[in-house]
Structure 1
């Protein structure tokens, strides 16, 4: 019996991947840049996307900088960006709180000035102390945050009537020197002290992606990211194709093991590959044994192991491995990594 993944069936086999979409909704950290520096090939690839007549929007969970500052950083690296092209989790949090609180309500800011500015922009009042009797706490990433700020949030949240909103819960953030703790670790500290859990405004929730698509009138957008738990899960939540790029946090091995809700539609080594044809992947099965072919790469699996016949760590080999393993395990709620063996195709 033979099946083809519908996502691999769209369009001509000679068409480049980017031709399937009218807009890209791009993550930043780990996709466009790492710290102050550009990811190799990213700026010129995004400029090429823009020059082709497609929209490029930037969807970021980093709430520590204003959209103006983010757009300036992107532009300085050579990628196309205007302030209105940036949709941030700080904006998403401000919109969420504006819907739930009366105008001018006080909101304790546990985060950067950029977050306070977005709260003020929607008609709410940023404050910094429990003594000011805030009706909500909003928490976003700030590299300069300290214990006293986290403690103030926990003290305020002792009142169950106070709403708690986190811009995001990314556990890590890619920086120029490696992977660093993200806002999720700081949110976890407040959660441990307060015994509460926040409502999350940014990725992986769907509204931030829909807002980005609506700003440019996109009908066939794709989400590009380096994280399964925010970018790809968010793409799936929003009903959009997700493109995982291996220039940041997650790896081919973590993609293979991903739970169903975090599986990407496509994955690439870098953004230059947007301008190459995406290979078809065919899957066949005989009982509970599945076989996938991606060009010359072949993967075979039973319920516990995957054997790949392809050059070690080739992307086509990983694509075949994922297709076979996911077909064998279509509905899983937690990451589950198989035993993996690579065989020389010769």
Structure 2
């Protein structure tokens, strides 16, 4: 599989942008540079926007308020959280009014209660299921209570299993790391709602009636794999967790449709790439390979054309020889 191309800006070629948040739209309290302007332009061109997050620590309303603080137009209904998706899964599995053991914070409690479920914090309260989502203050006692409940035979649901989460200070343990602690204690495996599983995508697509959705994310193992699982085109951006080198080494079945540095890629065309042996050309950018090393011959490092040339050449060589290549440092990742 090679990169897709578009002679129109992606915001005109696709009707709905499904946007991951952490590492794509913002990092911590600050917007990713250029994100506000790109999203405003995309919306003005007619693209509907939905914001998808595996992070269950905040309610959809809190996330929408944060987006508005960053001057990004967003209603509460435009935000779809993994907590909302897992609450939907749980409500389909247990009777309305059932007590469920809450392992998380307000971001998880609110959608569970909106689905008619009663949140409890102890196995002594006779819950019928365990529901786990990320919260920065989650501690050992809560994880232990989850383990006791799961060992007693209760079904276990998790909002997501991201092992890490990007923060303003760097990469930190995510909900997947906390889920793994419970898994280590119990040997059990939860039913997961968040990316890369389908539940979060189904929740978003059910809510947003728009044709030709495009998933935009920074994580290959959640955003891009999830889009592939859901049968959606995708744009991988390099403003968060995964790097250009990571993208270059992907096998064909895990490759995004498009790759770019950041959300500015939504408001521009994605020109064709021509590969000739050990060279790839995209617009003014040229990438060349010597052995297992790719460098940028012409073009601006970090530009869309340079990234497209490098990625296309890397994938071509991977498919041809069955091994990955690396950057020589001429292209920033």
Alignment TM-score, normalising by the size of structure 1: 0.86
Task: Tell me by how many angstroms 1:170 deviates.
Answer: 0.9
CA contact (8 A) 1:27 1:60 kept: yes
Residue in 1 that maps onto 2:325: 338
CA contact (8 A) 1:299 1:317 kept: no
Residue in 2 that maps onto 1:293: 281
User: Match for 1:208 among 178, 200, 209?
Assistant: 200
- Aligned-residue Cα RMSD (Å) equals 2.5
User: Match for 1:7 among 4, 7, 11?
Assistant: 4
Residue in 1 that maps onto 2:111: 118
Pick which of 79-88 and 260-269 moved more: 260-269
Residue in 1 that maps onto 2:102: 109
Residue in 2 that maps onto 1:227: 219
Residue in 2 that maps onto 1:72: 65
Task: Tell me by how many angstroms 1:26 deviates.
Answer: 0.5
Matches within 5 A, 1:229-248: 229-248=221-240
Q: CA 1:318–1:151 in 2, change beyond 3 Å: closer, same or farther?
A: same
Does 2:91 align with 1:94? no
Task: Tell me by how many angstroms 1:213 deviates.
Answer: 2.9
Provide the rounded CA distance (Å) in 1 between the counterparts of 2:287 and 2:41: 33
CA contact (8 A) 2:16 2:47 kept: yes
- Structure 1 residue matching 2:136: 3-state secondary structure: coil
User: Match for 1:39 among 21, 32, 42?
Assistant: 32
C-alpha distance after superposition, 1:235-258 (max 9, x if no partner): 111111111111111111111123
Task: Tell me by how many angstroms 1:36 deviates.
Answer: 1.3
Provide the rounded CA distance (Å) in 1 between the counterparts of 2:48 and 2:166: 25
Residue in 1 that maps onto 2:270: 278
Residue in 1 that maps onto 2:297: 310
Does 2:140 align with 1:147? yes
Please list every run of 5 or more consecutive structure 2 residues that lacks an aligned counterpart in the other structure: none
Provide the rounded CA distance (Å) in 2 between the counterparts of 1:337 and 1:192: 33
Provide the rounded CA distance (Å) in 1 between the counterparts of 2:139 and 2:252: 37
Task: Tell me by how many angstroms 1:7 deviates.
Answer: 2.2
C-alpha distance after superposition, 1:210-232 (max 9, x if no partner): 33233231111111111111111
Residue in 2 that maps onto 1:319: 308
